[in-house]
Amino acid sequence: MPSPERRALEGQVAIVTGCGSQGPGWGNGKAIAVTFARAGAAVYGVDLHPEAGQETQRLVEGEGGRFVLGVGDVTQRATVEALVADCVAKLGRVDILVNNVGLSLPGDPATMAEEVWDAQIEVNLKSAFLCTKAVLPLMEKQGRGAIVSIASTAGIRYTGKPQAGYAAAKAGLIQFSRVVAVDYARRGVRLNCVLPGLIETPLVEKLASQFASRETGIDREAFFRRRHEQVPMGRMGEAFDVAEAALFLASDAAKYITGTEILVDGGLCAAVRN
């Protein structure tokens, strides 16, 4: 466990959506849940897949942290309301919400199926709306709260891939957070976004497997090498890079920060290359 001075969230309750990983290793949600627990928060982790959430729960509890798992689809209003109510019943309050669930599917408007567009808007944007809607009254009543949404550099620039639905949804998430941040600034609730760039996660490993084929002529090593080379720092980031930024924004160290974004991209957005 970290030293006492690192327990920046001591006594607080944090809801983290998408708290599991899509395979072995560290996804953003898993790293955020563990990092928040190490900082002293009681974590209410939400995941659509119970096995993924249970793995995160084992890690947190194995380090002596407190973790409650909620299973459900956060694109459904009734489910979100039930999960938030369960969190309050079991942990007493909600101080922090991390909107972390995401879905990225390729395609431009001419080739993308309508249901593919809809799915990306629902997972990346509607889920954040529903979760934020559910916790805002609780946070306003408390007189304080922090909402951190995991957006993407794709929401502010072209990242070299045709992903119109994902980019539009993440851009919407960024502006949604800014607008609500202003509306709730005098009510004690802060909203900010973390914008990851190229992060090495189990999801990226899946993408590598999809691209590595005789048809594409790309192997796994070439796929990863290309992603590392895109970043000015020469390497992809790690899930804990995202988690540490989320921790900062959720903590009182950021008590005068609202309606803004932190880039976690190794300089990607500062470069003109793709």
* Number of independent structural domains in the chain: 1
pLDDT at 239: 98
Q: Is residue 213 part of a domain?
A: no
In the set 44, 158, 166, 184, the catalytic residue is: 166
Which residues sit opposite 261 in a β-bridge?
193
Q: Closest by alpha carbon to 240, among 203, 185, 189, 196? A: 196
pLDDT at 204: 80
Q: Is residue 231 part of a domain?
A: no
The whole-number average pLDDT for the span 60-75 is 98
Question: Alpha-carbon dihedral of residues 128, 88, 18, 6, nearest 10 degrees?
Answer: 100
The whole-number average pLDDT for the span 230-259 is 97
Q: Is residue 189 part of a domain?
A: yes
Q: Is 158 a catalytic residue?
A: no
Structure token pair of residue 190: 């802060």
Q: What percent of the chain has pLDDT over 70?
A: 93
Q: CA–CA separation, 164 vs 240, rounded Å?
A: 27
pLDDT band, residue 44 (cuts 50/70/90):
very high
Q: Is residue 1 part of a domain?
A: no
Q: Is residue 3 part of a domain?
A: no
pLDDT at 210: 61
Structure token pair of residue 67: 């973790």
Q: The domain that contains 152 carries what CATH number?
A: 3.40.50.720
Q: Is residue 110 part of a domain?
A: yes
Provide CB contacts within 8 A for 256, sequence distance 6+: none
Q: CA–CA separation, 3 vs 6, rounded Å?
A: 6
Q: Is residue 273 part of a domain?
A: no
- Report pLDDT digits (tens) over 170-190: 999 999 999 999 999 999 999
The domain in which residue 66 lies consists of 9-198+238-267
Question: Any idea how long the chain is?
Answer: 274
Mean residue pLDDT across the chain: 93
Structure token pair of residue 86: 């369960």
Q: Is residue 169 part of a domain?
A: yes
pTM of the predicted model, to two decimals?
0.94
